[in-house]
């Protein structure tokens, strides 16, 4: 599904990712953990093609194709989805208008039927229900005046509709109370299947109680310094990140 090979990336001339390699198979859920400033959010941004994040070496293969030079919308149309840590407010553009434009572009690019208005509304309402978001939010400006939890649930709602092949969740658990965390986790879990993969970028272990990962990686100093199964997350929770810093320095 996704193969990252020796990825180096700069932000404002400073190297943040320093030779990161990672392979994610179909149907797998990978958690990327690590201390603040380790490059977690940079990885999410680089994967989604954000401007200002410069790949200086290495490559990113998505279903075998090098996507390093592709614009964000092209990656989205190929089935990548980034759930933002800080979803953006877009006043004057209703959630419905936004979702409709997004779904049209993505489904068309993927050779799927573009939903007619009735089907679209039905699907949008269902997705709202699944993430416990009142349908009134569909008519409001995108994320406009939404609480932190509502914004995160709106991200998951979009993901449910777009049905991406690869979902990248950037600190989606930050700022969520336990109820909202469960709603988000249920949304992700409902999408899990053999053909769909997830990357969960998170600082804390608690999200992984609800979305159980197949693999856990620790990012430190711009590289993956340790990989393991779900039990690694528990170990990190217990010991913190300090004991891995030597490994990072040595690597």
Give contact residues for other proteins (rule: CB under 8 A). Answer: 48-51, 71-73, 75-77, 81-82, 84, 87-88, 90-93, 97-98, 101-102, 105-106, 109, 141, 158, 162
Report the residue number, 87 or 222, with the smaller CB distance to other proteins.
87
Report the residue number, 158 or 202, with the smaller CB distance to other proteins.
158
Report the residue number, 141 or 251, with the smaller CB distance to other proteins.
141
| DSSP-assigned letter for residue 87 | P
Structure tokens at 172: 């989606």
Sequence-separated (6 or more) residues with CB below 8 Å from residue 251: 221, 223, 225
CB of 90 to other proteins, least distance (A): 6
Structure tokens at 147: 């609480």
Report the residue number, 91 or 240, with the smaller CB distance to other proteins.
91
Distances (CA, A) of 103 to 36, 98, 164: 34, 9, 11
| DSSP-assigned letter for residue 82 | E
CB of 101 to other proteins, least distance (A): 5
CB of 87 to other proteins, least distance (A): 7
CB of 64 to other proteins, least distance (A): 21
Token pair 């989606």 in the structure block, residue: 172
CB of 3 to other proteins, least distance (A): 21
Structure tokens at 96: 């419905």
Report the residue number, 68 or 182, with the smaller CB distance to other proteins.
68
User: What sign does the CA torsion over 117, 119, 120, 121 have?
Assistant: positive
| DSSP-assigned letter for residue 44 | H
Q: How many CA atoms lie within 13 A of 194 on its CB side?
A: 0
In angstroms, rounded to a whole number, what is the distance separating the alpha carbons of residues 94 and 143?
Answer: 9
Report the residue number, 89 or 246, with the smaller CB distance to other proteins.
89
Report the residue number, 25 or 145, with the smaller CB distance to other proteins.
145
Tell which residue, 112, 98, 78, 182, has the closest CA to residue 144.
98
CB of 141 to other proteins, least distance (A): 7
Structure tokens at 19: 């030779």
In angstroms, rounded to a whole number, what is the distance separating the alpha carbons of residues 182 and 203?
Answer: 17
CB of 129 to other proteins, least distance (A): 21
């Amino acid at each position: 599904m996704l193969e990252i090979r020796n990825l180096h990336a700069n932000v404002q001339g400073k190297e943040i990712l320093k030779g990161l390699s990672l392979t994610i198979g179909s149907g797998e859920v990978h958690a990327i953990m690590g201390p603040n400033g380790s490059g977690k959010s940079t990885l999410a941004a680089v994967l989604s093609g954000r401007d200002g994040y410069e790949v200086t070496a290495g490559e990113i293969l998505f279903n075998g194709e090098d996507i390093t030079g592709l614009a964000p919308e092209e990656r989205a149309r190929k089935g990548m989805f980034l759930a933002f840590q800080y979803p953006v407010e877009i006043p004057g553009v209703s959630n419905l208008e936004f979702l409709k434009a997004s779904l049209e572009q993505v489904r068309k690019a993927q050779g799927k039927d573009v939903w007619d208005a009735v089907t679209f509304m039905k699907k949008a309402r269902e997705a709202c229900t699944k993430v416990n978001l009142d349908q009134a939010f569909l008519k409001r400006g995108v994320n406009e005046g939404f609480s932190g939890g509502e914004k995160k649930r709106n991200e998951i709602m979009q993901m449910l509709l777009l049905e991406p092949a690869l979902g990248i969740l950037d600190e989606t658990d930050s700022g969520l109370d336990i109820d909202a965390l469960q709603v988000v986790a249920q949304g992700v879990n409902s999408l899990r299947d053999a053909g769909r993969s997830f990357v969960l970028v998170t600082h804390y272990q608690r999200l992984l109680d609800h979305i159980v990962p197949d693999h856990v990686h620790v990012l430190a100093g711009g590289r993956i310094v340790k990989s393991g199964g779900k039990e690694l997350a528990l170990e990190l929770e217990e010991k913190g990140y300090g004991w891995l810093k030597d490994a990072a320095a040595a690597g």
